[in-house]
Structure 1
């Protein structure tokens, strides 16, 4: 019985840690849109979109994501 309670406690703590951080798909939406639009119309290798890529990376890093 004690093992079951400990296991439930660990699962609950793990879920709390996961829910503290937002999902990457839900943050930096405007930066992501600008980056994607630029790459779509100019191509990834054009060099014209570096400003938007850097803005997106900086925004994501602000939420704790490593890109």
Structure 2
């Protein structure tokens, strides 16, 4: 699917610098940034879920440690 990406001059310079630093096209730099953001977001969600489970499972221990 084709898409137009409108960037400010500052963001355009940042994208160009990122692409140049990585030796990739601007299109590839955008795709990688999107994929990394999705992976990071998914990871944070899994960590939050596991943390909640652990807090529930060990609530009595955490309560005692807090005294």
Relative to its length, the structure with more helix (as a share) is: 2
Normalised to the residue count of structure 1, the TM-score between the two structures is 0.37
Normalised to the residue count of structure 2, the TM-score between the two structures is 0.37
**Structure whose CA Rg is larger:** 2
Larger relative contact order (CA 8 Å, sep ≥ 6): 1
